[in-house]
Chain A
Amino acid sequence: MLSKKNKEAFFNPLSKDNPVLVQILGICSALAVTASLEPAIVMGISVIAVLAFSNVIISFLRKTIPTNIRIIVQLVVVAALVIIVQQILVAYNYDVSKKLSVFIGLIITNCILMGRLEAFAMHNTPWPSFLDGIGNGLGYTMVLLIVAFFRELLGSGTLFGFHVIPQWCYNHGYMDNGLMILPPMALITVGVIIWVHRSRNKELQEN
Chain B
Amino acid sequence: MNKNSNTYQILYAAVMVLLVGTVLAFIYMALKPKQNENIANDTRKQILSALHIASPDDSQVKDVYEKYIIQDLLVDAEGNIVDSAQNVAFNVDMKKNVKLAERQLPVMKCKIDDGSIKYVLPVYGAGLWGPIWGYIAVNDDGNTIYGANFSHEGETPGLGARITEQSFQDEFKDKHLFVDGEFKSVAVLKRGQKATNGAEQIDALTGATITSRGVSDMMADCLAPYSAFLKKMQQAEVVPVPEPAAIEEVTNDNQPE
Contacts and interface: CB of A to CB of B under 8 A. Distances in A.
19 contacts: A32-B156, A33-B157, A67-B3, A67-B4, A69-B9, A69-B12, A72-B13, A76-B17, A84-B27, A87-B27, A87-B28, A94-B42, A102-B154, A103-B157, A152-B158, A156-B158, A178-B206, A181-B158, A181-B159
A73 interface: yes
Interface in B208-249: none
Nearest to B9: A66
B35 A178 contact: no
A124 B13 CA distance: 22
Contacts of B13: 69, 72-73
Contacts, number: 78
A32 B154 CA distance: 12
A60 to B, nearest CB: 13
Nearest to B28: A87
Interface residues of B, number: 30
Interface in A56-94: 64-69, 72-73, 76-77, 80, 83-84, 87-88, 90-92, 94
Contacts of B158: 35-36, 39, 152, 156, 181
Given A80-B23, A94-B42, A66 B28 contact: no
A92 B27 CA distance: 13
Interface SS, A side = helix
A101 interface: yes
A28 interface: no
Given A90-B31, A94-B39, A101-B153, 5 more contacts: A36-B158, A66-B4, A84-B24, A91-B34, A102-B154
A98 interface: yes
Given A66-B4, A91-B31, A178-B206, A35 B38 contact: no
B157 A80 contact: no
A65 B4 CA distance: 9
Interface of B: 3-4, 8-9, 12-13, 16-17, 20, 23-24, 27-28, 31, 34-35, 38-39, 41-42, 129, 151, 153-154, 156-159, 206-207
B35 A91 contact: yes
A111 interface: no
Given A35-B158, A101-B154, A181-B159, A87 B9 contact: no
A201 B137 CA distance: 58
Contacts of A73: 12-13, 16
Q: Which of A32, A35, A92 has the largest number of chain B CB atoms within 10 A?
A: A35
Contacts of B157: 32-33, 35-36, 39, 99, 102-103
A25 interface: no
A142 interface: no
Nearest to B158: A35
A182 interface: yes
Contacts of A182: 207
A131 to B, nearest CB: 25
B35 A80 contact: no
Contact of B38 (A65, A80, A90): A90
B16 A76 contact: yes
A155 B139 CA distance: 37
Contact of B12 (A64, A77, A80): A64
B202 to A, nearest CB: 18
Contacts of A101: 153-154
